Structure 1
Amino acid sequence: MYKVIVADDEPTIRQGLLKIVDWEALGFHVVGDVSNGIKTVALHQELSPELIVIDIRMPRMDGLQAIREIRKTDGDCQFLILSGYADFAYAKQAIEMNVSGYVLKPIDQEELTQELLRIRAKLDQQSGRAKWSEFHADALREELILKLITAESADAPELESELAPLTSFAGTTKQILLVEAEDFTQAGPGYLESVKLRWLEAAEMEGLGYGFLTGPYTGFLLKEDLNRQGVKSKWTRLLHDACEPGQGFTAAAGPIVYDLGDIRRSYEGALGLLKDRFLLDEGRIHMETERVMNHGVAETKGHAPPDLEALATKLFFMLDLGRCEGVAETLREAGGALAAYDSTEIAIKTGIAQVLSVALSKLAAAHSSINIQDYAPLLAELYQHTHYDKLMNAAHTQLAELAERLGKDGSQPVVKQVMDFIQRHYHENLKLEAMAEMYNYNKGYLGRMFKQHTGESFHTYLDKVRIQQAIRFLREGYKVYEVSERVGYPNVDYFHSKFKKYVGASPSSIKGAPPKVKTVSLET
């Protein structure tokens, strides 16, 4: 709708014009009616109408004077003159002031309608040219930005001089933001393209930046850098609002630069961050100054390969003990070790899946109530996640539930829990240091507590449990080397020495009823 002001000193004519013309049907909306030229000029300054229907003969300031005054600041407003005088002198002056039409009083409704339709067509044509001009500027600006972010340094000054008139910034800083839309739930064909367009339209509407498309990314040359107060939160909200529920995005911003010719450096910084997009959190804007990843994932490369077997065993122990906090910490440790060695998405996913698979297999072997097949969907799901934090959250959620179920005896004193753990895992490579870490205790403190409660050191207690189990296996007919392996002594000679120390005889001498152990009972 085009805005219209009606100006005539006769109230009956003004009211009649408002009633006899279907302004809305003709594409116009009357925003005011006034009685003289002075009020016409004032209302024009306030409302900026596209058309003024104005009488020539009015008190204080006539119509021609009002038009002349308005033309000093507005060359586009259309004027339709009303007059009861068929005077060529008035028409000549009106033509000189570029009015759109001249209608004689008494007003013929059909003639007035035809004049309004002609003016409407002229306004539509002007509006189309303005839109085309604006579109041309937008297209040219996007083309220049795309050229500048890939240009050689020698070509940058010329491109910068062409781009500068098409941009404006809140300060001296410039920065590139790159965003990748993600479709987590397969929203349907066209979703990714539609969300890109919504981002571009929203950024233009809110005046936050100049958009461009490059590969899978929607890019923005920001009018204000993200370090300014409130700017980052505005962009985060804008990106979230354009996404459908359940969908997301990954976003990264390059370093701040001060010349348009340097925006390639900002673009490359953002692109560098997105190469490690798996390690970036979904749904937030990452800055190049935040290059150290979260979740304990180090950026340094060149570390030794992680000991996945040891990590799996530790996770198994934490699950078996029902230590939810320990499960979370072990997962973080595993993720950090894997990323420090090889931060690629497939390497981290494969490593985490291996740690979980080994730990769950050990747990299923130790607990008849646990079926490893129940966790096959979890292991398969790990490969579907597109972000590290989502993968780890999924793993932690299920494993924490499992640990909570197995940790029903967690209210028992720590020493009692350690004793029970030794009874179940005597065949493992158990160490006091590892037990202390699992319970978040100092090694020396836990050792003293254990000895005060049992009368034995941790290692002595472990040896006794192993020897008791060895006697049972020997009575069942297992060979000495088999028993040695089964109770946690890979070296048979070492097993012989331990057995003789506690039993007073060699393992091969065990026949019939088991001999008495020389040391005190393990009962507490």
Structure 2
Amino acid sequence: MELLKLVIVDDEPILLQGLLDTYDWKSMGFRVVGTAQSGEQAIQVIEEVQPHVVLTDIRMKQITGLMVMEEIQKTDLECLFIVLSAYRDFDYAQQACDLGAFAYLLKPIEDEKLQETMQSAYRVCMERIENDEKYESWEKLLVKDHDSFLQVVIQKYVQNRIPKEKVEEVMQMLADLPRNTERFITVCVDIDLAYRITHSLDYEAARFALMNRLEEVIGGKYFFWKTEGKGNCAFIIRTEDKSAVMELKHLLEHVKEDEKSPVVAAISKPYKGIEGIRRSCAEAQRLFGMASVSGASAFTVSEEVEVTAAEEQAVETDNLIVNAVRKNNEKELKETFVQLIYGLPQDEEKQCQYMHRVMLRTEFMLQDTYGLTDEIKKKFRNYYNNLENLSAAKAVDVCYKILCDVIEVRKKTAAEDETRYFKDYMKEAVAYIDEHLQEEELSIVSVAGHIYLNPVYFGRVFKNTFHMTFKKYLMQQRMEKAKRLLEEGNGSIGDICEAVGIHNPSYFSHLFKQYTGRLPSEYKKEYEV
């Protein structure tokens, strides 16, 4: 097994030494090449030894583990971060994930969890190393397969998977750097998404025919690279023809006339240089989104076609609606729909067309995530089937209600998943409550601290699990224990108060009567022989 480089960071010397001595890193595929006892030292060590994986404490004085991650991200170093914390703090975990942490482990570390995480990190690193080696080996194939190799490189570049410098290096190696007179124009084109719903059986065949036709007509006049974009196919054209934009527009118009299925397309302005490849692609993608909303067959940025602020706002609102549903945020969805209503075009047909695309985008997002139950699928189908019979105002109302239902289903699904995930945590919390009922200071904060969860987050999970608040559950357990002790007849009322953590007898009697309808003395008499 090839051993990968590991750096361990912890500002507690004893804990750091414990990490070094306790675990058999070699069996997990790693050799420790450096350690650090502060964030500042960690940055220095990481830059010096360039490890594959960094295991770091998240809470350190001055420079935290999160800050170390931020600093390393500013460099060209590629390493996985596994963060450790003695606190099951949801906010810290979320920040670590936002910064791209590979994993988040809790102290004390479970051996099995550490083993599983390190093995997973090892696999990811090895895949990355193998991919880098494959990339280097591609250079040997350049002479034999120049165009295909460059096609792969360009696709990775427009997907932000490799930097501009790497593309420049490859093109220089191929002696194929863009000349100053050359420009890059991107055409994004596809079958209208609505057709995928209304003609699902014909959609794939129509799309295949369209792409073949485009390759033929565009390839007949221009050199191009073809890549799959966000819901469309992108043709990146390399040309010195100054009239290429208008020529491409004419070509697309002819294709649209010949095709039976609805074609949506967008054409960027021409841009020069390697950065022009990505720029033209991004512009065409943005315009394609606008074309999809408006139903246009071709959409270019030129003196003939002006992109209005209203069209840009429509695309932005479209994104906001989908994101509100993705985040299960009902308030945000409502606010966005209000914004949408004021921004809809005057034409009623376009209003319905716009709502149709909002629903399509939301449905595709649900397919990629969760929440698309059979019941929700049926609601989407009913909406599409009855679209022609709905007025624009009614279409907006129906869409809003369906998306509210979607959020409700997603929230329920997320809560159920969360409850299952934290089942063991809740068992531990309940056991701790039972064991410490006699402690007056027992609270949601102390119980959450015992199982290393944020109190607010713990309270939410607890309520989802037991269908009652922590406060109500704690009172219920105390009163039930008091009832058992009174039934057994062992000890005075004062003793029972101490046993259930309510040390004021008068307050205890008040709570007990609220819970049972009787005073403790009355309840006790019923069980006296």
Which TM-score applies when normalising by structure 2?
0.30
Higher relative contact order (CA 8 A, sep 6+): 2
Query: Which structure: greater helix fraction?
Result: 2
Which TM-score applies when normalising by structure 1?
0.30
